[in-house]
Amino acid sequence: MYDVYKVRKDFPMLDGTKKMQGKNLVFLDNASTTFKPQRVIDAMTEYYTTFTANSHRGDYDLLYNMDVKVSEARKAIAKFINSEENEVVFTSGDTASINLVAFGYALKFLKKDDEILISETEHASNVIPWFKVAQMTGAKVKYIPLDENNKITPENVKKVVCSATKICSVAQVGNVLAHEVDVKNIAKIVHEVGGIMVVDGAQSVPHMKIDFKDLDCDFLAFSAHKMCGPTGIGALVGKYDLLDSMDAVFGGGGMNIGFSTNGTCVALNPPAKFEAGTMNLSGILGFKAAVEYLEEIGMDNVHKHDQELFDYAMSKLEDNENVIIYNKTSRNGIITFNVKNVFSQDEATLLNHKGIAVRSGQHCAKMIDEAIGTNATVRASFYLYTTKEDVDALVDALNEGGDILDAYFN
Residue ending a domain, choose from 271, 296, 321: 296
Residues 253 and 192 in one domain: yes
CATH number assigned to the domain comprising residue 14:
3.90.1150.10
Domain that holds residue 177: 41-296
What's at 244, amino acid-wise? D
Specify whether 364 is catalytic: yes
Strands 115-118 and 140-143: parallel
The answer to whether the Cα torsion of 329, 335, 336, 340 is positive or negative is positive
pLDDT of 409:
47
The whole-number pLDDT of residue 272 equals 96
Phi, psi (degrees; rounded to nearest 5) at 149: -100, 15
Chosen domain end from 279, 296, 313: 296
* pLDDT computed for residue 401 by the predictor: 62
Catalytically annotated residue among 162, 217, 265, 364: 364
Do 150 and 20 share a structural domain? no
Phi and psi at 26, nearest 5°, equal -120, 105
Query: Hey, how many other C-beta atoms are within 10 angstroms of the C-beta on 247?
Result: 15
Domain assignment of residue 36, yes or no = no
Are both 71 and 153 inside the same structural domain? yes
Same domain, 80 and 225: yes
> Do residue 352 and residue 395 come from a single domain?
yes
Please tell me whether residues 214 and 349 are part of one structural domain: no
pTM of the model: 0.96
Residue 35 lies in a domain: no
Instruction: Indicate if 349 and 232 belong to the same structural domain.
Output: no
Same domain, 368 and 239: no
Query: Which pLDDT value is given to residue 80?
Result: 98
**What is residue 405's predicted lDDT score, i.e. its pLDDT?**
46
Claim to verify: residue 292 and residue 318 sit in the same structural domain: no
Domain limit, last residue, from 248, 266, 296: 296
Which CATH number belongs to the domain containing residue 208 in this structure? 3.40.640.10
In the chain (410 residues long), the average pLDDT of successive 10-residue segments reads 96 97 97 98 97 88 95 98 98 98 98 98 98 98 96 98 98 97 98 98 98 98 98 98 97 92 93 96 98 98 98 94 94 96 95 97 94 95 98 94 50
Same domain, 289 and 308: no
